Amino acid sequence: MEQNKKTIFSGMQPTGAITLGNYLGALKNWTTLQEEYNCLYCIVDMHAITVRQNPAELRKNARNLLIQYIAAGLDPTKNIIYYQSQVSGHAELGWILNCFTYMGELNRMTQFKDKSKKHADNINAGLYTYPALMAADILLFNTDLVPVGHDQKQHLELTRDIAMRFNTIYGDTFTIPDPYIGKVGAKIMDLQEPTNKMSKSAEDKNATILLTDKPDEILKKFKRAVTDNFANIKYDVENQPGISNLISIYSAITNKTYDEIENEFAGKGYGDFKVEVAQAVIETLKPIQQKYDELQKDKAYIDNIIKENTEKANYKAQKILRKVQKKIGFPPIIR
Task: Please report whether residue 25 would count as binding ligand AMP according to CB under 6 A.
Answer: yes
3-class DSSP state of 51: coil
Alpha carbons within 13 A on the beta-carbon side of 325 = 15
Among 21, 94, 131, 194, binds ligand AMP (CB under 6 A): 21
| Phi/psi of residue 146, nearest 5 degrees | -125, 105
Amino acid at 56: A
Task: Please report whether residue 37 would count as binding ligand TRP according to CB under 6 A.
Answer: no
**Which one of ligand TRP, ligand AMP, none is in contact with 22 (Cβ closer than 5 to 8 A by kind)?**
ligand AMP
Among 105, 151, 161, 264, binds ligand AMP (CB under 6 A): 151
For 244, counting Cβ atoms within 10 Å of its Cβ (0-12 exposed, 13-18 middle, 19+ buried), the class is buried
Closest CB 198 distance from ligand AMP, rounded Å = 4
Angle at 85 between CA 81 and CA 91, to 5 degrees: 115
Range 110-149, binding ligand TRP (CB under 6 A): 134, 137-138, 146, 148
**Which one of ligand TRP, ligand AMP, none is in contact with 28 (Cβ closer than 5 to 8 A by kind)?**
none
**Which one of ligand TRP, ligand AMP, none is in contact with 311 (Cβ closer than 5 to 8 A by kind)?**
none
Residues in the chain: 335
Among 7, 13, 64, 175, binds ligand AMP (CB under 6 A): 13
Active site annotation includes 78? no
Angle at 222 between CA 221 and CA 225, to 5 degrees: 90
Active site annotation includes 268? no
Closer to ligand TRP by Cβ: residue 10 or 251: 10
Binding site for ligand TRP (CB under 6 A): 9-13, 44, 47, 134, 137-138, 146, 148, 152, 155
